[in-house]
Chain A
Amino acid sequence: MHEYSEKIRDIAEKLLKNGTVDVFIGFKKGTVPMMNEPVLISDPEKVHTLHWDSHCALNLCNYLTGRTDKIGILATGCNSRNIMTHIVENQIKREQLHIVGIPCTGMIDHRAVQRAVQFKEILDITEDKDRLIVKGDGFEEKLDKKDFLQSNCLTCAHRNPVEYDELVADLVPEQEGVSAYEDVTQIENMNIDDRWDFFRDMISSCIRCYACRNACPLCYCPTCFVDESRPQWVGKSIDPTDTMTFHILRAYHCAGRCTDCGACERACPVGIPVRQFTKKLNKDTLELFSWEAGLTSKQRPPLDVYKVDDYNDFVK
C-alpha cells in the first residue's frame, strides 16, 4: 500500500491550500522498522513527510477527540467505523471532517514478522506489492504479505471505508466468507475453570501501562474508572484481580462500539492479545442485536439506547 503515499501528499496539499481543512492527520515514516508516527500537518509545505505503508495500524480516530478545527483525516475501513462511532457519540462533528478514505488490504503483524526471522534484529523492511523484504545484519528474507497480516485484518469484512469524502485509490474487493469468531467460540467451549485460567494466563504479564486503552479511540472518558480515586473502584498495584478487573470492565465499556481495529493489541508493549476480551462482546452484539459497530453515523450502539418496544422483558 506504500504507493498510496504520493496520492495522500497531493490530497493533503490540496485540502490545506484551498482551505477545506485547517489540519491534516496522517502518518510519517517511523525511525524504527514497522513503526510509523501519527502526525498533524497544518503547513502545506510539510506534506512531504506524510507516508503510508502496511504498518499504519494505529487508529487515527484517536486523535480527533475534542478537536474544534476542520480536519482532514485518513481512514481505513475500521478507522472510518470508529469515526462514525465518534460522530454518534458527539466526540466530533461530521461537518468538521474531510475523510480521505483508504481502501485497505490489511496491516502487517510486526510480531509475526519478528517470529519469522527468529527474533533477529530487523534493520529494514520494504514492500513490493504482495511481498515483504526483510533485512538485517547478514540476512534477507522475502515473505508473503498475506501470511503476515494482523489477525483482525485476516477476518476483516470492511476493508473499505464506510463513509468518505474522497478516496486515495479504487475500492478493494471485500473478503467473503471470513469467519471472525472461531477463536471466541473455542474459548466459549472451554469449561469455566479452563476459561478462567486462559484469561488469567493471558494477562499475567500485563504491566498496566494502559497503552491498550489509550490507543483505543473508544476510551476517551475524561477520567477512566481505573483512575478514579474518589471512590476508588480498582486497586492500582499489579495484583492480578485488579488487572483482570481493568481488562474485563474496559471490554464491557467497548461492547457494541469496538470495530476490531487492532490498535489496542498493536500498542501493547508485552504483546497481550487483549482483543480476546472485546471480540467476545462483538460476537454477542452481533448475535443478540445483529449489530456491527460503526457502520453508520445515524444509529446509536445497542447498549446505549432504550426502546419502549424492546423485546426483552427485563427492561420494561
Chain B
Amino acid sequence: MKTTSFTKQEWDEALQGLSDSYRIFVPIREGDFHMFRPLENGIKPDFDFQNTRISPKSIIYPQSERMFEYTLEPEDPEANILKEAPKDYSPRAIVGIRPCDVHAFRIVQRNFDNPEFRDPWWVKHFESTILVGLGCNRPCSTCFCTSVGGGPFHEEGLDIMVYDLGDRFLAKSLTEKGEDFLNKTKAGAPADQPALQAAEDLKESVEKAFNPNVTMDHLHEKAVLDLFNAPFWEEVAFACINCGTCTYLCPTCWCFDIQDEVFAKQGDRIRNWDSCMFPLFTLEGSGHNPRTKKFQRVRQRFMHKLKYYVDKYQDGVQCSGCGRCVRYCPVNIDIRQVAALMNEL
C-alpha cells in the first residue's frame, strides 16, 4: 500500500500526465451540475462537488451501446451475419468517484457478472477501469449510504481512496492496480504522519456528524406477497408520472432493451437502458401487458430494489443510498419514506 500527498495543483498535473496511459474520467461542472467527462484538452476537473447529477454508471454501461453490426446486402458473402461492433477496452480511470457509486458498481456486477451469466461488454469495460474514489467531506442531506452498508469514506471496491485535506489531496492505494496508478504519476510526496492523521480525523468527524438513519432492517423477514399486496402502493404511486428519471439517474438500475436499427442495408444491434417505470417495459409481443397500471410499475421499482434483490442475493438492498432519485424525482417520491413503509408493514 502506498500513500501519497499531492498539492491540488500537483494532482491536476499528475492526472493530465497520466492521460496518455489511461482514459481518465473526471467530474466537471457543466451548466448547473457536475458530471463525469473524459479528461481532454481544455477540460478542467472540479473536485469541489457533492455528487454528479448523472451517475458514472454510463462509463461502464453506456445508455446506448452498439453490440453488433451487420449488412443486409444480398451480394455480400457476410450478409445477415452479426459481427461484434468494435469497442474500446483500453485502460481507463474514473477519478473522483464517490464511495456510493463504487458500491453501486458492486451491486450492478451481480447482474452482469455472476456464476450463471457473464455479460462480456460490461465485464471487459469494468475490468479495464481503475476506480479512484474521493471521500465525501460534505454528504448531502439526501444521502443515506451508511444505511445500506456504505459510508462517506467506504473503501470497498476502490483501487485508490483520496482524501480532500483542503490544500492537498492524500491518495491511498488499496489494490495493486491502484498502486501502479500512483507510481505512474511520478508526482507528490510520500504522506507524512500529520497528513495521515488529518485524513483519519476528517473521516471520523464527517462520519460522526452524518446520521441518515433509513431503516431497512426488517425487509428480509417480510413475506414477499405481504409487501406486494400492501395497502399503500396506490397512495405511494399517485404523484408518479412514470418517467425515467429515477431509474436513469440511479447508479444501480441495470435494465436494458435490445433494438435493431437499420439504415438502407446497414444494421446495428443496440442495447439501450430501459426503465420499469415505462409501460413499454413489460409490453409483450402478443400485445398483452402484465403491468398496465402505474401503481404496478412503481411497486416493481421498489419491490425489486428493496425486496426481490434482498431475497435473491441475501446481501442488502439494490440501492447505494446516493439519493439521486430523492433529489431529482420531479414529483418528490422519496425512497427513504417508501423503505420505511415497507420496513414497518
| A interface with B by C-beta (< 8 Å) | 30-32, 35-40, 58, 62-63, 111, 114-115, 119, 121, 123, 137, 205, 207-211, 213-215, 227, 229, 235-239, 266-271
Contacts and interface: CB of A to CB of B under 8 A. Distances in A.
Given A227-B278, A238-B63, A271-B31, A35 B138 contact: no
Interface stretch (B13-21, B117-125, B323-331): B323-331
Contacts of A40: 235, 238
Interface of B is mostly: loop
A205 B244 contact: no
Contacts, number: 106
B277 to A, nearest CB: 9
A296 B238 CA distance: 28
A237 B330 contact: no
Interface of B: 30-33, 50, 53-54, 63-64, 138, 140-142, 235, 238-239, 241-245, 248-249, 257, 259, 261, 270, 272, 275, 278-280, 283, 326-328, 330-334, 336-337
A236 B283 CA distance: 15
Contacts of A229: 280, 283
A227 to B, nearest CB: 5
Contact of A37 (B243, B257, B332): B332
Which 4 A-B pairs give the minimum distances between C-beta atoms? Answer: A209-B244, A237-B64, A267-B330, A211-B243
B64 A209 contact: no
Interface of A is mostly: loop
B290 to A, nearest CB: 16
A36 B333 CA distance: 9
B64 A239 contact: yes
A214 B32 contact: no
B270 to A, nearest CB: 5
Contacts of B283: 229
A31 B275 CA distance: 24
A207 to B, nearest CB: 5
Contacts of A270: 33, 53-54
B54 A207 contact: yes
B332 A30 contact: yes
12 contacts: A30-B332, A32-B332, A62-B241, A121-B141, A208-B244, A211-B245, A214-B243, A229-B283, A237-B63, A268-B330, A269-B53, A269-B249
